[in-house]
Structures are given as C-alpha cells and as structure tokens.
Structure 1
C-alpha cells in the first residue's frame, strides 16, 4: 500500500516558548519536593538545567512545564542520570492536569545535558492522540574531539499521567577528531521526521530521513582549507511496539546506556 505523508515535522521550536511564570515555578518546585521524597537514596539536583515552560497551541488552554534534574544514585557507584519532571497545567485554573517523572532519561558522564526544549509541533501519532516533544541537547567538553547531539522524546497525555512513547531519537549532532594546524575530520547529522498514514498497533508509523555530511579541514600556505567529503542520506521507518516506537541502533542517542 502506498504511504502518504500526513505532516512533516522539522526541528523548529515555536516562538510561543515563554519564561516560566512565578505560579508555574511554584508548581514545579512543589513537584520537585515530591520527587526528592520519592527518590530515596538519591541526590537530586534541579539547578543544573533551566526550567522550561510553553503553551501548547494545539491544545488551547494547556501549558507544558518541565523541570530537568540530575540524580546521583549511590547504589550505582554514584552514577548520574538525567530525569525530567513534566507537568501539564490548565491555564485558566492553574491546576495540574497530568504529571510524569521520566527517569532515567539518559546517563550523565562525559556527555552531559545542556538544555531541554519543549517541542509543540503537530505530532498527531494516532487518529485521536496528539503528542508533544522534549528535545535534549547534550555535548562533551573536548575541543580536540568534540561531540554534541540533540535527542527527541515524545509524550502523550494519559488521564492524570503522561506516557513516553518515543525515547532517545537522535535528531541532530556533530562529532570529529582534530589535531594541530587545522587538521580536523568530522560529521554533521540532521534528521527529518515524517508522520505516515500506515499504522502499527494503532499508532502511525514514523519515517526518519537522516542526512550525514562529512567534512575535512587541512592546513595550507593560505590558511585552513575546509572541504566537503561526502553526503549520505538514509531513511528508516519507526513502528510502534510494546508501548513505544522502536528506534534502530543507528538513530539512538549515545547516552542511552542505562
């Protein structure tokens, strides 16, 4: 059967993002306290990453609030993990509609999270369900061998809870190896997501087209010369199984070793 694109989703964060209001911060702080009591034996740090708040244009009157945190787990040799405290709020009453403690999202080590952005593109994943996304940007601190990536998680409201239906999809990034005198080789990758009309377990299939560009830099008498080595494009179909979209290894975030 021929597949038709329903909508193409590009990595664009809409201008409706806003700084968290005092009331939204209060809601998140109350949930932070609740999570600290729940995570016994763990040290939760809510200060490493900024809060994120955003109106949900497709769901009028609802805002998405996110408090990223890093948890140090003693029973795992003090390994650190990223967690996301997520709340949906009624804009009129200010009441909490749904909440979710997504933990662990990823490991935190040489590659560490830097920002979390709320993505309200039209992720219509079923005939009735509309998902929202969280984009986690992370990178290392190496100037010689730099690495950075953005991964996407998708969530759908489920009564007073929220379900994670896509975890750790690599959507963009860069990596490379360098040396002295402009010597550098690296790759840049970008993923484009399409929602198809074909279904798997009542969820629309996702098509991910990944473009990878390889570049090389060399020293010359006239300075650094950068050149494009090659550009490759591959496509993948993500199907829904066991309550989540299955992600091929080529599209998984490197921080998902948990």
Structure 2
C-alpha cells in the first residue's frame, strides 16, 4: 500500500508541571493530497529532548504521465528537532535518493540503536524498504544509512548498506527456492580515522519447497555467520559492492 507524504511537526506543549519541562509530542500533520511519499519521526534516546524526522516525497516528472502512481525518484529530508520549542537543530537534504519502479520504494523508518562511533559521538540510522513486483520471483531489500550531527547539519557516514534482503523463485503454489540474508552492526574496539570500525554480521537462511504425495514440504537451512569489517576512510565507511543498495 502506498502511503502519502507529509511534513513532520513537533509542536511544543505549553506550560510546565512544577520544575519539569513539558516536551513536544512527535506527530505528523495531515497528508498533502495526491503526493506519494513517507514521513516518520522518533525520539532520540541518546540525546534528551531531541527528535529525529525523516521525510521523502516523489519528485515531479512530467515525462512519467503513463507510469503507475508512485513511480519515479524520491528525495530525502532529515532533521533533528528540539522537543521543547519544535525548532530544527540540524538538517540534511538530498534530491533523487531513492528510485521507485518495478522495484518499489515502500517506506522509511528511523533506527536509534547504540551507534557510538566515538566517545562522544553517536549516529542514528535511516532504513529504506523496497519490494519487487513479481509474485513468482519475489524480492525485497532494506537499506541502512547512518548520519551524525555536526553543528546545524547532518552528515551521512554510512550509505545504503543492505541490512536485509530476500529473494526467491517458485511456482506460486508450493515448489521453489527462497533465500534471506539479515545483517546486524556491532561497534568494534578498533578504529579508523578516529571512528569505531563496524562489524557486520551476515546470516543467510534458505528454504527449498517441494511437493510430495500432494503435500508441500519445507526444508530450511541456516548458513554460517559471516563477519565483515567496515572502516571509516575519513569521510564515510567503505561498503563492499556486494553489500550496497543500488
């Protein structure tokens, strides 16, 4: 299901309870009519009183008049917002980040796991989801990018790591093969150019479905955990090609 885009707002609640500051409640205003896209927000536990917002809307393209709704390029707008007065503290904006066609862009989420890159710097993540359109050859991916705050700007330090993917080929009834890879990130004790190295743990599971005596039988397998170290090159973490979203 295609959602609609909306600008996010974090409106400060007036007044105070004793000496306690009343924080804003993160919420989304009404969705603009007819503009495909996504908007999410989440409090940032690492920094009290701050909320992260992620916004993505389709970029108008008059040449795509015959394409299905939601097809095209999507931008990305991020902000860290004060929960006290609703003012943005830092921003990031980039055009044409996500492409949506047969491989459909279908949502954003904010990841506030403990991405501690230095003793006093934490990153937050933005995940983007994609889904293929073929039922006989299902395919899906989720990409993770990490951002850090530098003054009033946000800077990407890890871009489009495929954090989860699945694919398969089957007869749409039973017989077929499926594969899914899931990845997690851990902070290493080593560092490169002042930022902690990232340990990527990848596990791939498979499923072989066959028909026997009129029944569908499932044979599942779990592969070994594969460890990959990502190192910061002074600008970004270098992601191997086979782990990059495209």
Fold equivalence (TM over 0.5): yes
Larger Rg: 2
**Partners of 2:178 and 2:241 in 1: CA distance:** 20
Q: Partner of 1:240: helix, strand, or coil?
A: coil
Alignment correspondent of 1:231: 223
Alignment correspondent of 2:129: 137
Contact 1:181 1:218 in 2 (8 A): no
Structure 1 or 2: more helix by fraction: 1
CA distance 1:27–1:131, shift in 2 (3 Å):
farther
User: How big is the shift at 1:229?
Assistant: 4.4
User: How big is the shift at 1:250?
Assistant: 2.0
Contact 1:210 1:234 in 2 (8 A): yes
Alignment correspondent of 2:19: none
TM-score relative to the length of structure 2: 0.80
Structure 1 outlier segments of 4+, above 6 Å: 24-29
Which structure carries more relative contact order (alpha carbon 8 Å, separation 6+)?
1
Aligned counterpart in structure 1 of residue 51 of structure 2, from 39, 46, 63: 63
Alignment correspondent of 2:198: 206
**Partners of 1:138 and 1:67 in 2: CA distance:** 16
Contact 1:215 1:229 in 2 (8 A): yes
CA distance 1:220–1:109, shift in 2 (3 Å):
same
Stretches of structure 1 lacking an aligned partner (at least 5 in a row): 1-19, 33-44
Number of aligned residues:
220
CA distance 1:167–1:22, shift in 2 (3 Å):
closer
CA distance 1:217–1:101, shift in 2 (3 Å):
same
User: How big is the shift at 1:59?
Assistant: 0.4
RMSD (CA atoms): 2.8
Alignment correspondent of 2:20: none
Kindly indicate whether residue 239 of structure 2 is the aligned counterpart of residue 251 of structure 1: no
